[in-house]
Structure 1
């Protein structure tokens, strides 16, 4: 140990990945190559698990002397770390959950980048091929279980939330855990950590020894939202679109807590899918919930959805305020509805094959200024298509707020320009301003400079 916040270590894997080919070693060891840079960034995020920053560049600057090297030995792979964040260690020994997640990063980068050659191998891929890819990535991560009934509750919500909102997410997670339900989140802090923390206590009370705390992230967001240490299954999906598809394929129901642009993106994603005619009869329990202090937040979200997507979209979810028990009961009943539907249609419990996801929600959207400017934010199209482009607009704002490449684009070219129908943009602008006023765009204590302009002339 060099000092109290830096550690040198040689770390062996635990279960996730123990052998590499010479070709894989060469790709990940090439310091000028994209694989090494990607692995370095993701590994630093895992090791920096105690951070309260959502600025990936600030983290990179703070640990600019951090180094990681893969060591191939006769008995397997080890990682040589130099100047690693001390928060990942106790008395010089790496915390077990951090070690597991560190090798999950190595596993997923090798499998997705090397095996699938994502940059070139999926251009113009069909919807079915992309769905199968998501399945294979989750299977490779050993996510799937043999279960008698659906039990995975996806929890969405912001990383920047008030303390009373965080405490409420824990209470909801506790009630879900008491009903022997498992938790999947984006794996970061805030509303992604709280439900897992509550569920761990409930699972202990129920003597549930195999509770699942599944975290799904992607390289662009992991540095800004380091995984919380409760996660016991971590999967790094290649991009936000495949991450979102993994949520709805592996999950059986969704609970949405207060959040900002990223949460709005997730809401628009699931509503856009559920609004497609092919999913009309498919049960997918969806609840928006928060403490009484957050009631106005959900009123804003509900009104925005009604104004831009209509009453049918509003019918796809329930809003439950200050009642964690009711949320858990609704989810538990929803699991029985999902079970009966999948049995009747002979669909798997562990992967939602029957859910139809249009290609507009599957292909990666690159948030460049030109692409954002071209978004079709007008009412003269099918509702699920409008939801798809609204999702892309919010995804661009997330990129401009916290993702390294998006932040760099904003710094070089200025804010993204969002164009479209004047009435629609007025509603969008009001919602975004509410997020800013409520400090939902960045962690409290850091001034927010908008990365977007809503152009309504």
Structure 2
């Protein structure tokens, strides 16, 4: 990305043309205790769509003069952006899709990022908060058939892996399925790009390309240009819950620590005995070159969480049509189950999520050192702490706050049973060797140390 910048004023696109004085005050730069800095950093990430850096700290420093101001006028509001990345404009006019996402940022920061607005003292309250945030973003739509496939995978993947994600997305789109991802590049962009072609062929004119993110990750994984529904959840835990509540089928492509975090989160939930009867199509897939990668993932899951966890997913290698057909059949089963149980098609209310998976985890040095990485606990409880460990590694790799913490205090230290730490060390080392921790060409300095 170059350093050319643009100044501009824009009006709301489709919504948020009227705000209360209290809401306006929260976003004003000179108002103490407001949400301005959070709004600024997320807005910059959206304007940097197409940015191929995965360093959230570097993006903020590259555009340190960037500013965004809310202007109140008699006929409504406008946003004034100064020093914005030039790639967000054509002939000085902001690209429509980016303008839409910019006001999605504004909506979500105002509505969902003040803790007192959403008490989460128990599991029911946490789920209610996720539902209300998604409903406010108009992601929860009535009277639609189940058809949302969540695609997880790394931002730093090989070319043949990226091409494969596009092929899978194409096959999903041919079957009338929409795509939901973490909204960034790599395996998050590929399925959406493939689906746009098949949606066009099938004259599926209202295709949904949903991106779910959170403030800590958005600067490192700026929304890709295909996303047409963006939601910024307050933290990684609510983001992950949003995925499993709105998705009807799940596909995992190759990735790094973030993908491992997502897998562990999902398997931890599915291992809860209360969720055993709920159909939940889950496929791990990649091209032939990714066979060894998924064997490593499968081995790690078997050693740490056991065979029961391995039975919750299928591994399909180098067969995009089989993946899509499996998803289509799996989602048909989801529809039949929810109809029989009178559960909503647009939000998976029956799925039980233990409060351990919902409580926000702050990946600082003390919290990382205190994680219980041992087998003297139920598998779904171990999965919760393993998920937190990988979440901390993601923070140290790409998030602004995590990078600064590592620079100041050194690597995070993780300790636990040898039976867990050795396979974890082996898996993480394979991510490093395969350049899955950072974008290719970027030197990787581990942000963690494993203590047996």
**Shorter-chain TM band:** over 0.9
Structure 1 residue 94 and structure 2 residue 94: aligned?
yes
Specify the SS of the correspondent of 1:319: strand
> Which of 173, 187, 193 in structure 2 is aligned with 1:197?
193
Structure 1 residue 271 and structure 2 residue 270: aligned?
no
What is the CA deviation profile of residues 290-330 of structure 1, one whole-angstrom value per residue up to 9, with x for unaligned ones?
00011110000000000110000000000000000000000
Q: CA deviation at 1:67?
A: 1.1
Match of 1:337 in 2: 333
Q: CA deviation at 1:37?
A: 0.3
> Which of 384, 389, 404 in structure 2 is aligned with 1:393?
389
Q: CA deviation at 1:142?
A: 0.4
Following the alignment from structure 1 to structure 2, what is the Cα–Cα distance between the partners of residues 15 and 237?
A: 21
Match of 2:4 in 1: 5
Match of 1:68 in 2: 68
Structure 1 residue 44 and structure 2 residue 44: aligned?
yes
> Which of 445, 449, 452 in structure 1 is aligned with 2:445?
449
2:28 and 2:34 in contact (8 A); partners too: no
Following the alignment from structure 1 to structure 2, what is the Cα–Cα distance between the partners of residues 4 and 59?
A: 11
Following the alignment from structure 1 to structure 2, what is the Cα–Cα distance between the partners of residues 412 and 121?
A: 33
Spell out the pairing of 1:289-328 with structure 2 (5 A cutoff).
Answer: 289-328=285-324
2:50 and 2:223 in contact (8 A); partners too: no
Match of 1:22 in 2: 21
Following the alignment from structure 1 to structure 2, what is the Cα–Cα distance between the partners of residues 27 and 337?
A: 45
Following the alignment from structure 1 to structure 2, what is the Cα–Cα distance between the partners of residues 4 and 390?
A: 39
Match of 1:427 in 2: 423
More deviation, 40-49/70-79: 70-79
Q: CA deviation at 1:25?
A: 1.1
Following the alignment from structure 2 to structure 1, what is the Cα–Cα distance between the partners of residues 141 and 225?
A: 22
Following the alignment from structure 1 to structure 2, what is the Cα–Cα distance between the partners of residues 214 and 52?
A: 20
Following the alignment from structure 1 to structure 2, what is the Cα–Cα distance between the partners of residues 429 and 200?
A: 39
Match of 2:343 in 1: 347
Following the alignment from structure 1 to structure 2, what is the Cα–Cα distance between the partners of residues 73 and 319?
A: 56
Q: CA deviation at 1:34?
A: 4.7
What is the CA deviation profile of residues 221-244 of structure 1, one whole-angstrom value per residue up to 9, with x for unaligned ones?
000000001001000000000000
Spell out the pairing of 1:48-447 with structure 2 (5 A cutoff).
Answer: 48-113=48-113, 117-118=114-115, 120=116, 125-447=121-443
Normalising by structure 2, we get a TM-score of 0.98
Q: CA deviation at 1:161?
A: 0.4
1:56 and 1:404 in contact (8 A); partners too: yes
More deviation, 243-252/26-35: 26-35
1:155 and 1:255 in contact (8 A); partners too: yes
Following the alignment from structure 2 to structure 1, what is the Cα–Cα distance between the partners of residues 297 and 445?
A: 22
Structure 1 pair 444–16 and aligned structure 2 pair: CA distance change class (3 A): farther
Q: CA deviation at 1:148?
A: 4.6
2:120 and 2:126 in contact (8 A); partners too: no
Q: CA deviation at 1:146?
A: 2.9
1:50 and 1:88 in contact (8 A); partners too: no
What is the CA deviation profile of residues 323-365 of structure 1, one whole-angstrom value per residue up to 9, with x for unaligned ones?
0000000000001100110011100000000000000100100
Specify the SS of the correspondent of 1:30: coil
Following the alignment from structure 1 to structure 2, what is the Cα–Cα distance between the partners of residues 122 and 63?
A: 32
2:144 and 2:346 in contact (8 A); partners too: no
Q: CA deviation at 1:20?
A: 1.2
Specify the SS of the correspondent of 2:352: coil
Following the alignment from structure 2 to structure 1, what is the Cα–Cα distance between the partners of residues 13 and 346?
A: 25
Following the alignment from structure 2 to structure 1, what is the Cα–Cα distance between the partners of residues 411 and 365?
A: 8
Structure 1 pair 89–148 and aligned structure 2 pair: CA distance change class (3 A): closer
Following the alignment from structure 1 to structure 2, what is the Cα–Cα distance between the partners of residues 197 and 213?
A: 9
Following the alignment from structure 1 to structure 2, what is the Cα–Cα distance between the partners of residues 422 and 172?
A: 38
How many pairs does the alignment contain?
Answer: 450
What is the CA deviation profile of residues 94-143 of structure 1, one whole-angstrom value per residue up to 9, with x for unaligned ones?
11110000000000000013xxx31x565661100110110000000001
Which stretches of structure 1, 4 residues or longer, exceed 6 Å deviation after superposition? none
1:442 and 1:448 in contact (8 A); partners too: yes
1:154 and 1:251 in contact (8 A); partners too: yes
2:5 and 2:84 in contact (8 A); partners too: yes
Structure 1 pair 44–185 and aligned structure 2 pair: CA distance change class (3 A): same
CA RMSD of superposed structures (Å) = 1.2
